[in-house]
Structure 1
Amino acid sequence: MTIGWAMIGTGRVHRQMAKAIKAAKDTELIAVLSRDRARADTFVEKYGIAKTYDSLDEMLQDPKIEVVYIASPNGLHARQTIRVAESKKHVFCEKPMAPTPKECRSMIESCKAHGVKLGIGLQFRQHPAHIKMREMVASGELGRLVFASAQVEILATWVPGWYYDPELSGGGVMYMVGVHRLDLLRFILGCEVEEVSAFIGEQPPDRPFEDTVAAVLRFTNQAYGTIHFSMNIPQGTSHLEVHGSQASLFAIDTTSQWWGGGGGELLMKSDKITTRFEFQKTDLYKDEIEDFNRCIRENREPMATGMDGLRNAEISVAMFESGRQGKKISIESPAKSS
């Protein structure tokens, strides 16, 4: 059964997703929505898409479309998700799910009320190294969890104009690349963040979004963690580590696909032995599309659910609040996640 997809927007991530949808098994990219008709025409010609729309309501009338991929400015995700759900079409929403937990909850409630699936674009969950890390943590191979760390640093880069509107963006580096790392720590450790203490980088008037975030996290299993996100470091790095009382895991280059990296590797180190696992490069966007298609066919939840998007938003907002107030912020009643 071929599942028809449509997408809202024609930006950078849309180019990645268009290629992935075209490559995904039993998947057809039927239409794209853009306010810029000339840009839309160029996009559909490049990727062989049959239709363009400049009206969401008109696009939603197309009976061949079963899934709508939403990757518009962050502040539009909630209202567009609700409108798509009302049309009885499934929603695959790019991260961040939405800037606020309230918006995330409204998206979850609408999709549930209209009987459609809601998935979030957190493709790094699909990487076999991260899945293996999650399995090793759950099996107890590391012993008692003690500490985890995630870091990503990129050079100062061009950002879409809507990043300069706080109502549309909700943030800068946190939502551009940071939320992926927060989500990976939750996914791999299999537990939630219950307290944060964060520092938020400068937000000057000419660039009104944070370019650096650093924080300490406390998890519900009493392990601790640190994160660091920057978008102003030309020679930066990316790492992901998990440390237990008996062994440690080091993921190397497992989140570099966006920049043309390979499959990366995973090291497991104990006091007696070091084990290396190497991975072939895979299209994580294609993998998440095929996972979402399966969740529709099998009537199950996707690997990254609306509850995961909500939880990431709760942590992100708590970090912003901690930075503003200069104190630790507790996250009450952590949302149940996958």
Structure 2
Amino acid sequence: MSAPLRIAALSAWHVHAEEYAREALNHPDTELVAVWDDDVERGKALAATVGVDFAPDLDALLAREDLDGVTITTATTVHREVIGKVIAAGKHVFTEKLLAPTLAECDELLEAARTAGVQVTVSLPRLAHGYTVALREVLEGGTLGRLSYSRVRLAHNGSTADWLPARFYDPAAAIGGAFSDLAAHPAYLTQLILGTDVTVASATYTDMTGRGVEDNAVVTVTSPDGAIGVVETGFVTPASPFSIEVQGTSGTLTYGLGADGGMVLDTGDGPVALDVPADVPNPFAQWVQAIRSGQETTENLERARALTALVVAANAAAAA
């Protein structure tokens, strides 16, 4: 059996930093060996929490021959710089979304990774959840007919309950507010439903808590076939269920809307509860497999690129 892949966690800027570090600790084929952060105290705190050494020098860390890959949880605005440096060092990359703030930067990083033989995977975790597996099966089976409408909502109370760190409200570092961060999940699920070729029709952002970035947002998209998609998010709702609704000419599929939060299909003969299967391997596990096999996580990268395109278009529409 091969030795475990040795992984370093780069930055505790993002709230998922510890989660991804623990993925490296807990996966049977990886070992977490270090934490780096440009904020020394923040990095030392994460290193102490997960029980590994803090590495103060990123270049020295990336030069280590015993390091195989990294998790990226820096500010989005420095993804191009930091991920580019990691790729140049020949280390594999598991990164928080967005891959990069612009399509040009996404393409630059992906081309560099392919040239270097480096595996890149972006954390789009809800594509691996059981409800998405069930959703794909219904969509691929054509039960809903020609799709006409979808709505996906994901929101929390990070602003009103004040548990998000202040740096999440820096529009430069975060590349926006709630839509650039939390809405990534309903956005890529909307693209799964209606296609990655949807275009942004409108974007409504509000700043209810006065922090300078949107904390409440609704974006509508349209597909080439005329379907309308609604992407909803926010940092101001304490009990907002994650939910999916898909309408077609032959039926309706919902998830998270009933009292039990289950998946329900109605094709005209009344609602039928559908079984939701187990989750499939998550993006971190897919990344480890990609490193071992040398086969990139193609769908993940295509969807990560399309996600950046949608977020960029939505932010532009909101600012217009």
| TM class by smaller structure | 0.7 to 0.9
- Matched to 2:95, the amino acid is C
Specify the alignment match of 1:24 in structure 2. 27
Q: Which runs of 4+ in 1 moved over 4 A?
A: 36-39, 278-282
Q: Which runs of 5+ in 2 are unaligned?
A: none
Taking a change above 3 Å as real, the CA distance of residues 93 and 171 of structure 1, as seen in their structure-2 partners, is: same
* Partner SS state of residue 176, structure 1: coil
Distance in 1 of aligned mates of 2:276 and 2:19: 21
Q: Which moved more, 1:14-23 or 1:313-322?
A: 14-23
* Partner SS state of residue 199, structure 1: strand
- Matched to 1:3, the amino acid is L
Taking a change above 3 Å as real, the CA distance of residues 189 and 5 of structure 1, as seen in their structure-2 partners, is: farther
Alignment of 1:214-233 (within 5 A): 214-233=218-237
2:230 aligned with 1:210: no
Taking a change above 3 Å as real, the CA distance of residues 39 and 18 of structure 1, as seen in their structure-2 partners, is: same
Distance in 2 of aligned mates of 1:132 and 1:4: 34
Q: CA deviation at 1:214?
A: 1.4
Distance in 2 of aligned mates of 1:300 and 1:170: 31
Distance in 2 of aligned mates of 1:142 and 1:25: 40
Deviations 1:217-247 (A, max 9, x none): 1023432111221212334332111122222
Distance in 2 of aligned mates of 1:132 and 1:62: 43
Distance in 2 of aligned mates of 1:168 and 1:38: 19
Q: CA deviation at 1:97?
A: 1.8
Q: Matched residue pairs, number? A: 312
Match 1:169 to one of 170, 174, 180: 174
Taking a change above 3 Å as real, the CA distance of residues 115 and 220 of structure 1, as seen in their structure-2 partners, is: farther
Distance in 2 of aligned mates of 1:234 and 1:228: 15
Distance in 1 of aligned mates of 2:141 and 2:86: 40
Distance in 1 of aligned mates of 2:212 and 2:112: 32
* Partner SS state of residue 217, structure 2: strand
Deviations 1:9-52 (A, max 9, x none): 23531222222222223121122112344544443343233x32
2:141 aligned with 1:139: yes
Q: CA deviation at 1:183?
A: 0.6
Match 2:269 to one of 265, 272, 289: 272
User: Do the aligned partners of 1:134 and 1:190 also contact (CA within 8 Å) in 2?
Assistant: no
User: Do the aligned partners of 2:124 and 2:300 also contact (CA within 8 Å) in 1?
Assistant: no
- TM-score of the two chains, using structure 1 as the length reference: 0.83
Q: CA deviation at 1:135?
A: 2.5
Match 1:12 to one of 15, 35, 41: 15
Q: Which moved more, 1:114-123 or 1:219-228?
A: 219-228
Distance in 2 of aligned mates of 1:304 and 1:67: 20
Taking a change above 3 Å as real, the CA distance of residues 43 and 167 of structure 1, as seen in their structure-2 partners, is: closer
2:202 aligned with 1:194: no
Distance in 2 of aligned mates of 1:264 and 1:32: 38
- Matched to 1:293, the amino acid is V
- Matched to 1:290, the amino acid is A
- TM-score of the two chains, using structure 2 as the length reference: 0.87
Q: Which runs of 5+ in 1 are unaligned?
A: 254-262, 326-338
Percent sequence identity is 23
- Matched to 1:296, the amino acid is I
